[in-house]
């Protein structure tokens, strides 16, 4: 079996597992579903030339369908009698292999085949979009045990990598997916460079969690945002799903994977540049040419919306979700203007990191001024500065904890600044008012806090 790429959706499939094929300019193209084939046939020039030379039949015999689907000929005939498969003169379209697999899987999960057939006959259920769910991902001839011996990485380490990625733990006798081999064969490079197993697993966990969140959101977004206009047209659920795939999904093509790769490159550019400059400064210092500048204190900022819980209770979850989305849009724009970055959203709040404490205060003041005009509840903010530990996409340390604590002490419209940040600040565009020491949960001694106000604000 050859591993091929569906030119419409970009899915990697075995040629034997293609739901449909089409010939174009002397090549055969393979598709995960009939819908992908229909999109390609309508405009083949719009898709990548990933076909293979030669022609291949687009129909299979009853016996071949049963073998590929992993069932019996009698069962194939039963599914055909219920209208789930579509025989014609003793043969079946290739997509029926996928349909048979999916229906048998649904049956194994407790769904009655007769009920599925009835739903198909009344057109409440379409199996078109399920064709791709029946694919079997191309497997190599190499088992995990054999790969472990080949790359000299213990089998339990390979299994731990999959768990860290958030994927099912493979059995040692499973055959490795073709697409997995290239990634796994790169692992010895890390171990060969002296990177410990724990550090490797920590790195792949971040990759796995990030990719899982994007993948999960993509399908949630498609269902709740892309499909919804089609449902509002009066289409049944299945019809709306297929219409959304046909009119939006196929036209977007591989944009999801392309966007993820593009964004990674764009974000990497800045971090790579900073990393390279750090090494330049280290080289100059080692050569005795230039002393590396003292490390400036970094700032943590916690901004929260006042009354978010009440809003959720009174207006409902959907309204609260809209507020969270508007907040995310606002804080990302503010952070970009002031040289900071959003570490994570916290539902009704946000955690920022700033390299410069002065920018942190100015950004905080902009947030409390901007929430109202953007239709958001009032905000209150805590700012602190000092050493922090960066780990797995997050920041930790006393400076972070105090920023969160003093933020909770602030009232709507207030920006509180900790004493550690105060010592690092040269106020510009704002002034600081001493509000005295306060007791903070989990902090041994009282912390003096200051309120930041714009220089043109009325004295309080």
pLDDT in tens, 241-272: 888 888 888 777 677 888 888 888 998 888 88
Q: How many CA atoms lie within 13 A of 96 on its CB side?
A: 26
Distance CA 428, CA 365 (A): 12
Distance CA 140, CA 137 (A): 10
Strand partners, 298: 386
Q: How do strand 379-386 and strand 415-418 relate by DSSP bridges?
A: parallel
Distance CA 161, CA 197 (A): 9
Structure confidence at residue 1 (pLDDT): 52
Distance CA 19, CA 13 (A): 10
Instruction: Say if residues 416 and 447 touch (Cβ distance below 8 Å).
Output: no
Of how many residues is the chain composed?
Answer: 460
Instruction: Give the Å distances, CA to CA, from 457 to 35, 165, 360, 422, 460.
Output: 62, 51, 18, 19, 9
Distance CA 291, CA 311 (A): 53
Please work out, in degrees rounded to the nearest 5, the angle formed at the alpha carbon of residue 371 by the alpha carbons of 369 and 372.
85
Instruction: Say if residues 76 and 69 touch (Cβ distance below 8 Å).
Output: yes
Angular region, 328: left φ>0, alpha ψ -120 to 50, beta rest: alpha
Structure confidence at residue 271 (pLDDT): 82
Instruction: Say if residues 354 and 298 touch (Cβ distance below 8 Å).
Output: yes
Structure confidence at residue 460 (pLDDT): 43
Per residue in 296-310, pLDDT (tens digit) is 789 999 999 887 666
Pinpoint the residues of the chain covered by CATH 1.10.1660.
3-134, 138-195
Structure confidence at residue 326 (pLDDT): 84
Instruction: Say if residues 115 and 140 touch (Cβ distance below 8 Å).
Output: no
The DSSP element (H or E) to which 99 belongs, if any, is helix 95-108
Share of the chain above pLDDT 70, in %: 92
- What's the CATH class of domain 138-195? mainly alpha
Whole-prediction pTM value? 0.69
Q: Which CATH architecture has domain 3-134?
A: Orthogonal Bundle (1.10)
The DSSP element (H or E) to which 37 belongs, if any, is helix 34-42
Copy the structure tokens of residue 273.
């540049």
Structure confidence at residue 422 (pLDDT): 93
Helix (H, G, I), strand (E, B) or coil at 161: helix
- What's the CATH class of domain 298-454? alpha beta
DSSP 212-230: HHHHHHHHHHIIIIISHHH
Ordered per-residue pLDDT tens for the chain, 460 residues: 567 777 887 777 777 778 888 888 888 888 877 878 888 888 887 776 666 555 556 788 999 889 888 899 999 999 999 888 889 888 998 888 888 888 888 888 888 888 888 888 888 887 776 666 766 777 888 999 999 999 999 999 999 999 999 989 999 999 999 889 989 999 999 999 999 999 999 889 889 988 888 888 888 888 989 999 999 999 988 888 888 888 888 777 677 888 888 888 998 888 888 888 888 888 988 888 988 776 678 999 999 988 766 666 666 667 777 788 788 889 989 998 998 989 988 878 899 999 999 999 999 999 999 999 988 889 999 999 998 888 877 898 999 999 999 999 999 999 999 999 999 888 889 999 999 999 988 888 899 999 999 987 544 4
Output phi, psi for 211, to 5 deg: -65, -40
Instruction: Say if residues 303 and 350 touch (Cβ distance below 8 Å).
Output: yes
Instruction: Give the Å distances, CA to CA, from 96 to 5, 15, 100.
Output: 19, 15, 6
Instruction: Say if residues 93 and 20 touch (Cβ distance below 8 Å).
Output: yes
Instruction: Say if residues 309 and 371 touch (Cβ distance below 8 Å).
Output: no
The DSSP element (H or E) to which 305 belongs, if any, is strand 298-305
Structure confidence at residue 95 (pLDDT): 82
Pinpoint the residues of the chain covered by CATH 3.30.70.1230.
298-454
Copy the structure tokens of residue 73.
């000929």
Alpha helices in 87-138 (DSSP H): 95-108, 113-121
Residue among 140, 67, 69, 60 at smallest CA distance from 102: 69
């Amino acid at each position: 079996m050859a591993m091929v790429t569906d030119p419409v959706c970009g899915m990697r499939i075995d040629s034997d597992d293609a739901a449909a094929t089409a010939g174009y300019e002397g090549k055969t193209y393979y598709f995960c579903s009939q819908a992908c084939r229909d999109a390609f046939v309508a405009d083949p020039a719009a898709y990548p030339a990933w076909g293979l030379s030669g022609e291949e039949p687009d129909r299979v015999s009853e016996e071949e369908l049963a073998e590929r689907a992993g069932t019996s000929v009698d069962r194939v005939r039963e599914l055909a009698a219920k209208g789930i498969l579509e025989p014609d003169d003793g043969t079946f379209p290739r997509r029926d292999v996928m349909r048979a697999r999916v229906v048998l899987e649904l049956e194994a999960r407790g769904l009655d085949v007769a009920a599925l057939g009835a739903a198909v006959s009344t057109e409440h259920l379409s199996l078109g979009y399920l064709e791709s769910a029946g694919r079997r991902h191309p497997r190599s001839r190499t088992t995990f045990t054999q790969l472990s011996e080949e790359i000299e990485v213990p089998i339990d380490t390979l299994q731990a990598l999959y768990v860290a990625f958030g994927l099912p733990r493979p059995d040692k006798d499973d055959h490795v997916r073709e697409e997995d081999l290239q990634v796994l064969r790169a692992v010895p490079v890390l171990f060969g460079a002296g990177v410990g197993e724990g550090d490797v697993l920590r790195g792949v966990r971040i990759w796995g969690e990030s990719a899982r969140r994007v993948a999960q959101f993509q399908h949630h977004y498609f269902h709740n945002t892309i499909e919804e206009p089609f449902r509002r047209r009066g289409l049944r659920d299945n019809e709306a799903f297929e219409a959304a795939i046909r009119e939006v999904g196929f036209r977007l093509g591989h944009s999801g994977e392309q966007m993820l790769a593009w964004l990674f490159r764009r974000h990497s550019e800045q971090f790579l540049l900073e990393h390279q400059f750090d090494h330049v400064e280290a080289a100059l210092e080692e050569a005795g040419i230039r002393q590396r500048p003292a490390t400036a204190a970094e700032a943590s900022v916690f901004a929260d919306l006042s009354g978010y819980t009440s809003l959720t209770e009174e207006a409902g979850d959907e309204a609260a979700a809209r507020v969270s989305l508007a907040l995310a849009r606002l804080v990302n724009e503010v952070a970009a203007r002031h040289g900071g970055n959003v570490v994570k959203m916290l539902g009704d709040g946000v955690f920022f990191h700033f390299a410069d404490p002065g920018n942190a205060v100015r950004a905080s003041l902009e947030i409390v001024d901007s929430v109202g005009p953007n239709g958001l509840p009032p905000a209150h903010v805590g700012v602190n500065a000092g050493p922090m530990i960066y780990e797995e996409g997050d920041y930790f340390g006393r400076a972070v904890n105090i920023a969160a604590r003093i933020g909770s002490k602030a009232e709507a419209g207030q920006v509180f600044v900790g004493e550690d940040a105060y010592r690092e600040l040269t106020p510009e565009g704002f002034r600081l008012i001493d509000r005295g020491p306060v007791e903070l949960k989990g902090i041994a001694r009282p912390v003096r806090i200051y309120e930041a106000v714009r220089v043109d604000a009325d004295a309080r």
